Structure 1
């Protein structure tokens, strides 16, 4: 049986493939700072935008959707971590924060992509 972290990595890979199919260019995954983590970072060439993506998975949405679990506290951690990435990479262009919510099992993933989520 997989632990929570292994399951998270598995669904981040599903989200990565999904976004690559939407013509976003993958930069890195699991960008860690002392403030938190950004699951995925992409570049969207069409809009010349650096995209920070939070991936959440829920087997069932009885107690709320995967997207709803990204609360204010989690958003603040992502914002702080992304600012470090921006400074380290001297990025001064467009940025965006997206959420990928995945519900269901491996055979029937329901992917909800929220652009400009926060």
Structure 2
């Protein structure tokens, strides 16, 4: 299974997780010149959520959230601003991180969802 396939699986698992919790999915793999937003969703309270999905099979190299460093956060902020501008949206928003853990057979074993992972 390719890295792209694994990433898509992690995003699909996260999208299902969000739907089960009443979120509305607005976009998946949305791209602009600043980068890509894995998922864009609206929570039940109306907050726009830009979700970065990180899939890992273990934590020997650190937690998945640790791979959303300062430079990645800057790119996500720029892409989110572009999304808001393109869609003419003016609503509260936040940046979340979904940590998707798999076993050695690439089956999802756990999903940790971090709201407001960074500002």
Q: Same fold (TM over 0.5)?
A: yes
1:54 and 1:100 in contact (8 A); partners too? yes
Q: How many residues end up aligned between the 2 structures?
A: 116
Query: Comparing both structures, which one devotes a greater share of its residues to strand?
Result: 2
Long gaps (5+) in structure 2: none
Per the TM alignment, residue 115 of structure 1 is displaced from its structure 2 partner at its CA by: 0.2
Q: Please, which of 93, 96, 111 is the counterpart of residue 95 of structure 1? A: 93
Q: Note the residue ranges of structure 1 that are not aligned, 5 or more in a row.
A: none
Q: Does 1:33 align with 2:32?
A: yes
Q: Name the SS for the 2:75 alignment partner.
A: helix
Question: Do 2:48 and 2:94's aligned partners in 1 also have CA atoms closer than 8 Å?
Answer: yes
**Where does 1:1-118 land on structure 2 (aligned, <5 Å)?**
2-46=1-45, 48-105=46-103, 106-118=106-118
- In structure 2, distance between residues paired with 1:108 and 1:78: 25
- Report the CA distance between 1:108 and its aligned residue: 4.8
Q: Which runs of 4+ in 1 moved over 4 A?
A: none
Task: Provide the alpha-carbon RMSD of the alignment.
Answer: 1.2
TM-score of the superposition, structure 2-length normalised?
Answer: 0.92
